Amino acid sequence: MTSIAPAAPVPSAFSDRPEHWLQIDWRRVQRNVRGMQVRIAKATKEGDWRRVKALQRYLTRSFSGKALAVRRVTENQGRRTPGIDGVVWSTPTAKRNAIGALRSRGYHPLPLRRVFIPKKNGKLRPLGIPSMKDRAMQALYLLALLPVAETIADRNSYGFRPRRSTADAIVQCHVVLGRSFSAPWVLEADVKGCFDNIDHQWLIDHVPMDKVVLRKWLKAGVVETGTLLPTEAGTPQGGIISPTLANLALDGMEKALEDLFGVKNSKKAKQHQVNLVRYADDFVITGRSKELLENEIQPLVVRFLAQRGLVLAPEKTSITHIDEGFDFLGWNVRKYGGKLLIKPSKGNVHAFLSKVRDVIRANNGATQEHLILQLNPIIRGWTNYHRSQVASAAFSRADAMIWRSLWRWAKRRHPGKGARWVKERYFHQIGTRAWTFAAHLPTDVSRTHKEAQYRALAYASDTKIRRYVKIRSDANPFDPADEFYLEERQSATMLDSVLHRRQLVSLLQQQRSRCALCSEPITQATGWHDHHIQYRVYGGGDQLSNRVLLHPVCHQQVHHLKLSVTKPTPQGV
């Protein structure tokens, strides 16, 4: 799709083990890792565990696996957060040296640095921060473990898994509860301190990975307020591999229910209507009667968790009739007159409005434009989360409450001015709305006189409801048979997520959602950089014909190696 040519001679071309970080051929690296992961998933599906172990060992010792692990921990949000040793890998030299340091022989992880972050209920959640090397080692072994975890995972588990989200979980709730003959009773439950209490011996015995390395991670200990504390149970929140370990500990719950109440579409299953929907350690189970959930299903779940050192959280576990409704993942699921409606929960709406009010109060002395720039991402993020369900009324109420807070903010800034003056200063006619909170922008020569010269606050009610199509329950991102299905789904999802940014959509379509340098897919997880073919300092403009999208590391390569990247041809790739 692109022509790539070095603008100047490069002493060392791409090779299997280049000496410089920015000379790594990431396309080859990703292909090597992907090929090994597909083989691991195939061996897992066939039950050939000796081959799984051999392929995992090969992957964790490969240059490609180590390079991709280092890339992950040096490009994610925590790349500037050090562990207990205070080390971060911020330079290309440090990153290249880190690849050679990832060896299992003689490896001893450092204790985690423990910090506490506030939870919604006012309590504190412990978060363990590993060192950069330990994070990279976890990322490396996760590359080998994830294909196994995805192949043996519960079909209706949606948390901390690639290509799955809360939207998939809530749509599955609609599938199992939405019909007139669906199960009317729901067991909603949450595992108490899941990450902190998983039994170490159970993980060592059942997680299909290097047992020696896993034991070292689990027993590394934590440092809290300068004191080294042992870790007797749990896998610390903050570790890259921890969510997958927690999922593996909870996988099998769906099979345990099917063994007792029948597999999908069987006569026994239709009689009991037992269905599980799980997102991480938060799950719901449907049933035909309250007695079935109380006397058979809940005891089964308790026994299942006890084998793993876990228990249910009493304050978050209850049995509810669907006509009364229940909250799950920020939504309220309830039947009204026999019709199932899923709306933003009261608690979620309250938390959103509280966050907006906090931002407004914190910006009493800020400019109007600065306040708008602070609020718009919050509003858009909340509405995008809920726009797949029945949220129009909640969006309109949120707009009204936000307007009231902004009116008080504006009046408080000018106690000596009248309401009309305040209105004309902060609220403007944009389209058919006469009370839009908007700031005047300075005159811009690139704008025509017909364009509005305002920075406007986003309206929640402007977000249109768009029904979400749930991922197929048995789809596996490491199975070649599902590649076409998942690629089409990912492209549609990504384009839908950036519809308000028309220029990005145009670039993504021109490039078929692939990097202009390495031709590998651009996703929300990989991120992207907007590269100007002719540098702006040399007179290049912002027009689409002068821009391409690149992966962040590919963007660094283009500049470091002085590569030239051209636009895709009309024929595409």
> What are the domain boundaries of the chain?
21-152+199-232, 153-194+244-342, 346-462, 485-561
Maximum C-alpha span of the chain? 79
Secondary element (H or E) of residue 222 = strand 222-224
Q: Compute CA distances 573 → 337, 486, 515, 516, 569, whole Å.
A: 53, 19, 11, 10, 8
Give the Cα separation of 54 and 62 in Å (integer).
12
Secondary element (H or E) of residue 70 = helix 63-75
Residue pair 89/98 in contact by the 8 Å Cβ criterion: yes
DSSP code for 11:
S
Instruction: Render the burial of 425-440: b for 16+ CB within 10 Å, e for the rest.
Output: ebbbeeeeeeebbbbe
**Closest C-alpha among 347, 294, 84, 315 to residue 193:** 315
Best CATH choice for the domain 153-194+244-342 from the list 1.10.3470.10, 3.90.180.10, 3.40.50.300, 3.30.70.270: 3.30.70.270
**Closest C-alpha among 104, 164, 94, 96 to residue 140:** 104
CA distance between the termini of the chain: 4
Give the Cα separation of 350 and 387 in Å (integer).
17
Give the Cα separation of 222 and 398 in Å (integer).
42
Instruction: Give this prediction's pTM.
Output: 0.84
Any idea which residue has 């309109």 for tokens? 396
**Position 388: which residue type?**
S
* Each residue's pLDDT expressed in tens, for the chain with a length of 573 residues: 444 433 333 333 445 688 889 999 998 898 899 899 999 999 999 999 999 999 999 999 999 999 999 999 998 888 888 889 999 999 999 999 999 999 999 999 999 888 887 776 667 777 888 999 999 999 999 999 999 999 999 999 999 999 899 999 999 999 999 999 999 999 999 999 888 899 999 999 999 999 999 999 999 988 888 888 888 888 877 789 999 999 999 999 999 999 999 888 888 888 899 999 999 999 999 999 999 999 999 999 999 999 999 999 999 999 999 999 999 999 999 999 999 999 999 999 999 999 999 999 999 989 999 999 999 999 999 999 999 999 999 999 999 999 999 999 999 999 999 999 999 999 998 888 889 999 987 765 445 443 457 889 999 999 999 999 999 999 999 998 888 788 677 666 666 665 446 778 888 888 988 999 998 998 878 888 888 887 765 556 778 888 899 898 998 898 888 888 888 765 444
Q: Compute CA distances 410 → 352, 369, 372, 423, whole Å.
A: 21, 13, 13, 9
Q: Give backbone dihedrals phi and psi of 281, rounded to 5 degrees, phi first.
A: -100, 10
